[in-house]
Structure 1
Amino acid sequence: MQNSTNEPKIALVTGASGSLGKATTKALLAGGHSVVMMDLNQDILNKLQKEMDGRTYPYACNLSDPDEVEKVYSLIEKEVGQIDILVNNAGILSNNKAEATTPEEWQKVMAVNLNGVFYLSRKVMPGMKKKGWGRIINTSSLAAKTGGITAGTAYSTSKGAIMSLTFSLAAELASYGVTVNGIAPAYVRTPMVTKQLTEEQRQELIAKIPVKRFCEPEEFAHVVMFLVDPLAGFITGEIIDQNGGLIFD
């Protein structure tokens, strides 16, 4: 196993101010890693940095803008160092089905959920290849496999495309000691579930989930840490379902 020691790494987590991003950042810090926290709002990131226990570096970036990604990542490499672990977690939700989805909404969802993952992944690849070690972890969704139980067409399609991108990058990087995997969660206990749904809607969802509860953000972060571990180096091009038994494949 190349570079198989558990020495501290430099991680980058997008969507860092969200529930999954916060949980993942905390888990990586607890594992001794440094974390570059990336999201849209610099003030929110600065505040979040004060809440974290460990080495964190807040960088605001609009991931849908390739020029901005280029500029911000160059700054990160200069000020923090090359990224060893990339968690592509940023994303936006759309619940509209096809006929209700405008071209503008379609383009916006794809720009953030898919294009941003591609832009940032291609920036970390040279450094990982040079070191002979790296981890790229992409957040997909159950919606990619079901067509969207409650999620819309653009969102579901973007998450399906992330799976294909994961496979393509995994094939390209496998010989360099870099793994690329995805996680496909469903109904994580986030504000989307706790605030945007009524109690009646939440209970209807729980009734459909075989394990009879929602996923916790910390459980998502636990899967990230498993994939980050050197002993997971023989797993690449895999999409790990985390849906409480809603779908088996």
Structure 2
Amino acid sequence: MFSLEARVALVTGAGQSVGAGIATVLARQGATVIVNDLTIDRAEKVVAAIAEEGNHALAAGFDVTDLDAVSAHVRESEAALGHHVDILVHNAGVALERTNKRFRELTPDQWSPSIDLNLYGLLNTTRVVLDGMCDSGWGRIVQVSSGSARTGQNIGVSMYAAGKSGGEGFMRHLAAEVGQFGVTANILALGHQKNLEEKMPPEMIDRILETIPIGRLGDPIEVGAACGYLSSNEAGGLTGQTIDFNGGSQTR
């Protein structure tokens, strides 16, 4: 059950944290994983860790906001593997130029990095892999989103939320367009993850934990398991859905 044998998966932003967890689990389920990251060294480390477990992956360093780069690297990877991409998990989401400020404090040139990555990155990767999925009669697309896409927050992430919200809207329409071809499109909206511990002092983490019913931050392998299900044959009847994966936090 939930086997991904003979499938090829592309996971974007998979060089660390949640993306690495997703790539690791998909590989454990039998997929050959194209591990994308903006930094090739990070991607190669994840590939090496997957190989140590006896599973299969290859590294692909490219910027998902660059359509030509996405196309070139995906086609190169497909040629090397002798198979088209069956599964896309668009996890890349935190732009290097992201600025956490309230909207009034942002200059117009600070709007685009988060929107480009979270919306156009999703559009670019989907565009490059979609024909292969539809032509073969099977495909799975998962957008890793955030509760911020649907919940107003006074923490300076309006542009990040705008990109995620745009991606969620796109995915619902895409699901309606491509379901007839055996392709599903779903959204996994995450809550706070373990990587926050690298960015915030312990006292802030403690305050966040008070808002999470399970009392802990999210685990990358658990996120990977959810993506593994959404990428499986058994999830063929599930499409156009947004699944909140947040430890029970209130997102509405």
TM-score by length of 1: 0.92
- CA, structure 1 residues 148+156, in 2 after alignment: closer, same or farther (shift >3 Å)? farther
For 1:184, the equivalent position in structure 2 comes to 189
- CA, structure 1 residues 211+48, in 2 after alignment: closer, same or farther (shift >3 Å)? closer
Equivalent of 1:88 in 81, 86, 90: 90
Does residue 155 (structure 1) correspond to residue 151 (structure 2)? The answer is: no
More displaced stretch, 115-124 vs 101-110: 101-110
Deviating beyond 3 angstroms after TM superposition, the runs of 4 or more aligned structure 1 residues are 4-7, 148-151
For 1:36, the equivalent position in structure 2 comes to 34
Is the 1:86–1:136 Cα contact (8 Å) retained in structure 2? yes
For 1:231, the equivalent position in structure 2 comes to 234
Cα distance in 2 for residues equivalent to 1:176 and 1:237 = 14
Is the 2:3–2:30 Cα contact (8 Å) retained in structure 1? no
Cα distance in 1 for residues equivalent to 2:88 and 2:175 = 13
- CA, structure 1 residues 5+34, in 2 after alignment: closer, same or farther (shift >3 Å)? closer
For 1:56, the equivalent position in structure 2 comes to 57
Amino acid at match of 1:70: S
Cα distance in 1 for residues equivalent to 2:116 and 2:100 = 16
For 2:12, the equivalent position in structure 1 comes to 14
Cα distance in 1 for residues equivalent to 2:66 and 2:153 = 27
Cα distance in 1 for residues equivalent to 2:173 and 2:99 = 25
Residue correspondence of structure 1 range 1-249 to structure 2 within 5 A: 7-52=5-50, 53=53, 54-80=55-81, 81-92=83-94, 94-148=99-153, 150=155, 152-190=157-195, 193-247=196-250
More displaced stretch, 160-169 vs 74-83: 74-83
Number of corresponding residues:
244
TM-score by length of 2: 0.91
Q: CA deviation at 1:116?
A: 0.7
Cα distance in 1 for residues equivalent to 2:46 and 2:217 = 25
Is the 1:101–1:154 Cα contact (8 Å) retained in structure 2? no
More displaced stretch, 75-84 vs 41-50: 41-50
Q: CA deviation at 1:112?
A: 1.1
Is the 2:102–2:155 Cα contact (8 Å) retained in structure 1? no
Cα distance in 2 for residues equivalent to 1:226 and 1:150 = 32
Unaligned runs of 5+ in 1: none
Is the 2:4–2:232 Cα contact (8 Å) retained in structure 1? yes
Q: CA deviation at 1:5?
A: 7.8
Q: CA deviation at 1:158?
A: 0.9
Is the 2:139–2:184 Cα contact (8 Å) retained in structure 1? yes
Amino acid at match of 2:74: Y
Cα distance in 1 for residues equivalent to 2:89 and 2:71 = 17
1:90-120 deviation line (CA, Å, top 9, x unaligned): 0115422211222222111111111011001
Is the 2:141–2:186 Cα contact (8 Å) retained in structure 1? yes
- CA, structure 1 residues 166+94, in 2 after alignment: closer, same or farther (shift >3 Å)? farther
Is the 1:171–1:237 Cα contact (8 Å) retained in structure 2? yes
- CA, structure 1 residues 150+110, in 2 after alignment: closer, same or farther (shift >3 Å)? same
Cα distance in 2 for residues equivalent to 1:235 and 1:70 = 28
Q: CA deviation at 1:17?
A: 0.7
Unaligned runs of 5+ in 2: none
Name the SS for the 1:35 alignment partner.
strand
